[in-house]
Every structure is written in structure tokens, then in C-alpha cells.
Structure 1
């Protein structure tokens, strides 16, 4: 068998799509990953990188297009790292995401759940309630947009089809102010400059907008005081303008220090009929309407009663638990970010929900505390970050012996891994359902029902 070498040209049929959105073909038994292709494409592929057991390639010529292929409706989709699927139909995207989930639970988890019908999204554009725009220095000029694929090079573009149109207008107004006043943008190489990110949030129901400017030094950020006033005058939906300080050389966008210069640093919205207060550090699903469908299904899986105790791990601002609080005797929420716990408590109070306890701390450590104080929830809901749950959290979840565990995850691979561990600890993975909260990207949400054996 002839080994592939860099710059080789080969004919390649694309037979699958990987979790990160790359197409997959095979040549003499070697997997070749190619971006921006569709299942069914036949391409002339140039090999650009060779690894021991696979290769990366790029399309030199599209010889036979797939029936799934469509023209991209975004001028920067080939360069921007946001969307992975603008070149295929949305129906094909949903099929691919459903397969991602099934493959993870079959292959990684070695589980055999019932796979429920995938829930696609009604709105594939303008659905996001949150956007984070990196700002960079380009020869003395501040530019703003989105990171290119697998890099921190900023693709200068503000009119993303996933964001509300008003976000583009706000960002362009801010960048005009910044460049008119020669406010220095952050330079990742020299670690100099002031403005790092523009971070926007908008209530899907309320329309209230939060503007958060991430800066390297709050002491130098008074240059934005006038901007905050101008923003509020021009955009009536802006409720608050916040400064966030992040002086560290890190990929993490937000730091821990905040200063509100207009409003109180929060916006309000509605989720599952509850009034919700949101701060910059609070986790809040980026697709409100689709998240409501997801939470409704999670509630159906939970099978709650008025005698139930519900434990909501990784609860964020409390949106999931509070959507079910009126169905249970007691709700306990656990979250590691204090600002989110403060929001959760305020959200419970604002909605006259009194059967709650919200605790700030690491999920695994608090799960142990709850176990040792004798808490035995009937149902546990866990919605961890992409890295999933740690072993301690899973073990104490199982020790508390709930009848059901409902897991919500934005990473099906770690969800499958964690469900496999819970299977070892005495739980059966009964049902799995995919929800597309992130159309045109490679991300997908999963909800899982596990029951005690």
C-alpha cells in the first residue's frame, strides 16, 4: 500500500462527518479529514498534513457534488470558526448531529438507549441571545469580528447571521468610538492594549440588552464612560453597560472583577414562564426558545411529583430547576459561580418560589455534603460544562440513590462517558434525545434519562 504524502492529490469520496464538522473519506484504509464538504461529495483532495493513522486534506476540485450541498449564505463562512455547516442543507445537518450523539453513546458509552426523534430548530438564523466579539490590534487600528478556525486570528466581520441584527449595529458603533479616540485594542503577542472583547446579551422575550466591555485594566477604562452614555442614548433597549477586567494572558474571556457604569449589571428575561435575572458571569442558554423545548423534555423525563425533592447540579441561574420547582416539594440548586447563585436566589424570589435552597460550591464537594447531611433526592438533574462531570460528582449522585437522573449536556462524548460510569454505579441509560440549540455550528445539546436498576 502506497503511503500518502503531503501535497499528494487523490480522488476522495466523503462518507461521513466528524464531530467537529470535517468531512471524512478513506483512501487505502487511511481516514482523510477535509473541511467544508458534504457526505456524498466526490472531490480531488490535496493532502496537507500527514499523521500516523490519518491525514488532513483540502478540496482542490469538487468533481461530483452531494445532494446535501447548498451555497453558503455567509461571505466569511470559509474563514470564520463559528459555523461548520453553512455549505449543507439544514436537514443534512440535523442528520449528522443525530448521528454524532448515537455514535458517542454506542461507541464511547457502549450503551443501548432508546434514541428519540431529533429536535431541530425552527429558526436557524438570528437565534442567539449572546455574542462575544474578540477585538484585536491591526497595525494600530482596532478590528473586531470572530476567530478564524483553529486560531486567534480575528476575521473582521460583525454581521453574523446567528446574532440579532442590533448586535451588529451596537458593535459597529462601539468600534467607531474606539477608533475615533484611538483606544488601543488588545495585542495577544505583546500583551498590550486595553479593549479585549465586546460581549453582548439580549433577552429573547424582554428585548433588554447588556453590553459588557472586557478590558485589561479597570483603572484605565474611564475612556468608556462617555461611550456608555452614548450607547444608552442611541439604543433604547440597552439596560446596562458593564466593564469586566481580565488582565491575564489566557483564552478565558471574562475575569472576575466587574464594574457597572450604566444600570445595575443585569438584564431580565423570561424562561419557561419565570422571570430571570442575568449577569455577565451567569450561564444562560444562548437559544432561549429551543432551550425551553429542551427543559420541557427534561421535565417529562424527570417524572416529578409534589412529594419529590429535586437536586439541580450545575444549576447556573436556576433556570432548569425553577422551571420545575412548582411541581416538587423541594428544589436544591448547586453552582460554583457565586454571581450565578445570587441570580438564582433573586430569580426564585422574583417568581414567588419559596421551596428552594441554592448552594455555591463545586458540584462533587457539595454533592458529598448533601449526602452526608442525609439528602436523598428523588430526581437529580445535571447540566455540566463541556468537560462533563468528575468522578466524585457521579459517585455521590449514585450514592444519593435517586430514582432518576436527567443529564443535559452540550458535549455528547462526555455525556456518553459519564452515563457509562453511572451505568457501572447502578443506573440504566433509558432514553437519549438530541436538541439543536446551535444551528449551522457543529455543537448540539443532548438530554438523557437514566433510572436506578
Structure 2
């Protein structure tokens, strides 16, 4: 416990910087205070929520002096919902801090002095840019109040009932409101992970930006529903005639992840079609695909350029999802091999290769680390797009053994990107990195990093 700070203490602070993750950074008496809800340039009154030996954490109570970069939020839920953090910060400033955070992580964690970081590429759209949104159910039981459906409250497991959301299209919020009211009328409660009782878990909505197709995925527990979910699917098709497909999936695991384990039924084809550049993609309910289509087109183009393909290279695409990056490179490569853990995504990738008439692509379902050990073709270029947790340490070690000429690392988390680059640093050097803002108004930033093998 700090001798200077104590929980509940009120401080007046000048916010100097933005920390990685989005909190403001202030200093007082030589100590650092991380201030939730504060922007650089503000003077705030804040209450300490955590006191440690050398720093404190605090929440803003009042803004005493405003930053010149403040802007009016555009959503009625801002400040309560955790979906957006920076609607009140000018977009140019958002990009500035995101660029700086990528550089900070590479310097601090990867120990790269003055890494070459390009300015963050803006999202082509600042509202209505998301092609996928995940909403959670809560409550509905006798003691938990009316059923809720929406997004998590900022810093909480509680759910904010969303009436509007400016990240996807206006239709998305209409679907959320309609599903909430329908599910309330069933009087069936949401799933409670503590008791493992209840039904409703997640609502996932995909809206493709180039083909204008819509998928609704309803993820529930394995509890009996008495036909309610089939009735909901029929009702959605009647209320939203443009709806392409409804998928019902169940999830047994307690973990609150909007990913189905078993598909129960679907209406229509069970997938939607999207296009990035001149490549068409089939996307199933549980397949990974970049959630900002226009920005993803810019990111894919940068990754292809970084790969430096001449038509003779064998490309290995790790964590390939439904084939996004690998297929974007297929025209310029001799061959593409993709590895992905989710079998449904691999089926999509194979279908996408056929759809685009690529005969030089192979996709493998299985654990990335295990499949790396069984590769028959040594890659010249590796493109890797791992989850936020980054690559498995042994997968990074396996890449060192494969010794490709170039590694194109696409990351959604600069800290794990920096960690993995450090592990590869004995044999590879970071040439340059290009941040891309696929998530405006949030602290998240994507990054394409080019690593080239050092000459012995």
C-alpha cells in the first residue's frame, strides 16, 4: 500500500498522456496516477480506486479544465457502455496516440530503439463501420429482473440495454431491440454461469458491407427452449425481409465467449458473402473475419506489399481464419498454405479458394504448433495473424527453424506483437510497421509489421 495514496482519496490532476489501453496518465508528488475516463490535456478531480506502492488508479469525478481536443459524443450510451471509449476525443488525436502506443510497446518490450513506425492509417468510415457485433444476454430470472440484451457496462459484467449503436448499421440496433422484446415475452431467463441454468447467451449480428447481407447468430445453452428459438428465427425473417440467414448454436462451456460449439439449425445458407478488393469471401457464423471491411482492404494491401511477392514464393498463412490474408496474396504467390484451429473457418477458406478459382491454395485444420511440425514445403514468406494473446512461444521457435526470408506479422495487440518480435529478434529484424485503425473510438489498433531475416 502506498504511503502517499489511499483508496477514496480525492485528487486534482493534470492529465499529461494516454496510457496503452486508454487511461489518462497524471503525476503528483512524483507518483503516477492512471485515470480512467480522462483525456490528455484535461485537469480533473478524481477519486483513487486503487493505491499501490509507486502508483495509483483513479476515476474521474469532474473535468475542471477541458482539453482543446474534446469533441461532443454522438451516442446516448457513451460513458455507460464499454463499446466506445473515445467518442469525446478528436479523431486525429485518437490516431496520434495509437501510433505512439505501437512505438512505445516495440521500444519497451521488444527493445527496439527508434522503430520505423508509419502514422496510423485512419478508418475510411468512423460510424457504421463494423460488419460484426456481439451482444450479451443477462437476467430474466425471478430474482434478476427483466431480461437484458446489449453490451457490457464500462468496467463491469453488467449489461447495458442498447437502444442505439453507431458502430454497425442502424438495422443492427433494430434487430437487438426486436430480439430483446421477443425473448422477454418467452419468459425464459438468460444463462447463468454460476448455476448453469437458463437459455439465452449471445446474439451475434454480421452485416457485410459490399454485398449487404445479414446473418443473425443466436447462441444459447443446451437447455430446452420449447421451440422458442425456431419461432424467433421465423419472426426475424418476417420482421427483417432482407435477413439472409439465422443460425442457432449452443455453447456448453461457462466462459463468456460469443462462439458456438455446436450448430443446431440454420435458415438459408448459414453464411454471408463479403468482398475485399477483388477477392470474395464466404463467412460462416463462427469464422474469423476482420470486422471493418473498408479498413481491412487497406490492411490487406499493406500486408501484400510487405510480403514482397514476385510469383515464385511459397507463403505460409498462420491463424488463417477463412483465408483472408492468404487468398489476398494467392495471385502473387507460387503457393499458399493456411493453418487454422477452427474447422468451420477452414471449410470457408477452402470454399473461398474455389470461389475465386485459386488452385494454388491448401488449408489445414488443426493446432498451429502441431501442424508447423509436419509441413512438407518450406515457406519463403510467413504471414501470421494470431489472436490478441499472440503466438504460442513454441510456434515462434518453430518459425525460427523454418527460417523464412520474411515474416509479415498482423497484430491486434501491440504488446504481444512486441513480445513475439523480441523472441524472433535473434534471427529477424523489424524493418517497419504500419498501424491501421480498424476500431475508431476505442483503444484498439491493428498493425502490420515486416520482419526480415538477418544475413549470417
Q: The residue matched to 1:46 in structure 2 has which SS?
A: strand
Going from structure 1 to structure 2, the CA distance change for 1:68 and 1:203 (only over 3 Å counts) comes to: same
Distance in 2, Cα, partners of 1:437 & 1:221? 40
- Contact (CA 8 Å) 2:75, 2:164: kept in 1 or not? no
TM-score norm. by structure 2 comes to: 0.95
Q: The residue matched to 2:139 in structure 1 has which SS?
A: strand
Partner of 1:74: 75
Shift of 1:219: 4.4
- Contact (CA 8 Å) 2:276, 2:293: kept in 1 or not? yes
Distance in 1, Cα, partners of 2:241 & 2:55? 53
Q: The residue matched to 2:425 in structure 1 has which SS?
A: helix
Partner of 1:51: 52
Going from structure 1 to structure 2, the CA distance change for 1:294 and 1:221 (only over 3 Å counts) comes to: farther
Shift of 1:189: 4.4
Partner of 2:341: 336
Single out whichever of 268-277 and 308-317 deviates more from structure 2.
268-277
Distance in 1, Cα, partners of 2:45 & 2:177? 40
Partner of 1:411: 413
Partner of 1:22: 23
Partner of 1:122: 124
Q: The residue matched to 1:141 in structure 2 has which SS?
A: coil
TM-score norm. by structure 1 comes to: 0.96
Distance in 2, Cα, partners of 1:391 & 1:43? 42
Partner of 2:357: 352
Q: The residue matched to 2:126 in structure 1 has which SS?
A: coil
Distance in 2, Cα, partners of 1:154 & 1:203? 26
Shift of 1:433: 1.2
Matched, 1:157 2:158: no
Distance in 1, Cα, partners of 2:204 & 2:373? 36
Distance in 2, Cα, partners of 1:61 & 1:248? 41
Q: Of the candidates 182, 191, 195, which is equivalent to residue 196 of structure 2?
A: 191
Distance in 2, Cα, partners of 1:268 & 1:227? 23
Q: Of the candidates 300, 307, 324, which is equivalent to residue 295 of structure 1?
A: 300
Going from structure 1 to structure 2, the CA distance change for 1:449 and 1:137 (only over 3 Å counts) comes to: same
Distance in 2, Cα, partners of 1:396 & 1:8? 50
Q: Of the candidates 131, 137, 140, which is equivalent to residue 139 of structure 2?
A: 137
Instruction: Say how many residue pairs are matched.
Output: 449
Distance in 2, Cα, partners of 1:75 & 1:49? 29
Q: The residue matched to 1:199 in structure 2 has which SS?
A: strand
Shift of 1:221: 6.0
Structure 1: 4+ residue segments shifted above 4 A: none
Shift of 1:192: 2.2
Q: The residue matched to 1:85 in structure 2 has which SS?
A: coil
- Contact (CA 8 Å) 2:204, 2:258: kept in 1 or not? no
Where does the alignment leave 5 or more consecutive residues of structure 2 unmatched? none
Going from structure 1 to structure 2, the CA distance change for 1:405 and 1:234 (only over 3 Å counts) comes to: same
Shift of 1:186: 2.5
Where does the alignment leave 5 or more consecutive residues of structure 1 unmatched? none
Q: Of the candidates 386, 404, 408, which is equivalent to residue 388 of structure 2?
A: 386
Distance in 2, Cα, partners of 1:222 & 1:273? 42
**Residue deviations 1:387-446 (CA, integer Å, cap 9, x gap):** 10112211221222211110000000000111111112x111100111000000111101
Distance in 2, Cα, partners of 1:261 & 1:410? 31
Cα RMSD for the two superposed structures: 1.6
Going from structure 1 to structure 2, the CA distance change for 1:183 and 1:397 (only over 3 Å counts) comes to: same
Q: Of the candidates 381, 399, 402, which is equivalent to residue 401 of structure 2?
A: 399
Shift of 1:196: 1.0
